[in-house]
């Protein structure tokens, strides 16, 4: 079983991202689960969402404490004591939305990739310049980075589940797919 934990802030689309990712994985023939974890539900508050997949039915029903991969929708969460990388399995991927390279020496035992999903979301008019909705862009990058879900299935899931601006969300996912890079 592969487990993915998504960290973001309220309003960035972490919950929708987990559901869209689960649908895309389902389209690629996997059994899936997607669910959120909420604390204080307000815009800007830290939130987590989870996605699991396997080639056989999933019976476990708990939060994800030792993820195989982590998606970070807001880079500031890495440095706020939220425990973003807690439990991440060695050699797991950390995908970070960041417009620039970050000081990531403490993550050397992991594979780290970066994409400027916020800039991409703004270019495609997803959210506002001060509060871009980065979820679909980050899923395009995740597809490229891990190879565990096809970009075609991500696009199909966006088309079926994005609440609005479907074509803009698809364009953002495609752009992030082409621009994600491994951090050095």
* H or E, element range at 34: strand 31-37
The model's confidence at residue 39, banded by pLDDT at 50, 70 and 90, is: low
Higher pLDDT, 107 or 119: 119
Mean residue pLDDT across the chain: 91
Question: How far is 118 from 26, CA to CA, in rounded Å?
Answer: 27
What backbone phi and psi angles, to 5 degrees, belong to 24? -60, -45
In this predicted structure, the answer to whether residue 125 has a pLDDT above a threshold of 80 is yes
Q: Which residues contact 59 (CB under 8 A, 6 or more apart)?
A: none
Match 């997949």 to its residue by tokens.
53
The arithmetic mean of pLDDT across residues 124-140, rounded, is: 94
Domain containing 170 equals 2-182
Query: Per-residue pLDDT for 7 more than 90?
Result: yes
Among the listed residues 16, 36, 2, 8, the one whose alpha carbon sits nearest the alpha carbon of residue 118: 8
Asked if residue 88 has pLDDT above 80, the reply is yes
CATH of the domain at 35: 3.40.920.10
3 state SS for 98-131: CCCCCCCHHHCCCEEEEECHHHHHHHCCCECCCC
The pTM (predicted TM-score) of the whole model is 0.92
pLDDT digits (tens, 9 = 90+) for 40-77: 566 778 889 999 999 999 999 899 999 999 999 999 89
The whole-angstrom separation of Cα 130 and Cα 179 is 21
How many separate domains does the chain show? 1
Give the per-residue pLDDT at 121.
96
- CB of 58 within 8 A of CB of 16? no
Q: Contact 140/172 with Cβ under 8 angstroms?
A: yes
């Amino acid at each position: 079983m592969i487990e993915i934990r998504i960290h973001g802030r309220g309003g960035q689309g972490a919950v929708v991202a987990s559901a869209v990712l689960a649908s895309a994985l389902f389209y690629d023939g996997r059994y899936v689960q997607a669910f959120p974890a909420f604390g204080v539900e307000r815009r800007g508050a830290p939130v987590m969402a989870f996605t699991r997949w396997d080639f056989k039915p999933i019976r476990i029903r708990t939060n994800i404490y030792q993820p195989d991969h982590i998606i970070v929708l807001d880079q500031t969460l890495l440095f706020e004591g939220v425990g973003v990388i807690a439990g991440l399995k060695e050699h797991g991927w950390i995908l970070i939305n960041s417009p620039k390279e970050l000081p990531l020496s403490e993550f050397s035992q992991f594979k780290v990739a970066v994409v400027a999903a916020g800039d991409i979301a703004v270019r495609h008019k997803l959210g506002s310049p001060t509060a871009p909705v980065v979820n679909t862009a980050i899923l395009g990058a995740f597809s490229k980075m891990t190879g565990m879900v096809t970009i075609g299935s991500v696009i199909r899931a966006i088309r079926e589940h994005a609440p609005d601006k479907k074509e803009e969300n698809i364009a953002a996912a495609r752009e992030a797919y082409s621009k994600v890079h491994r951090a050095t």
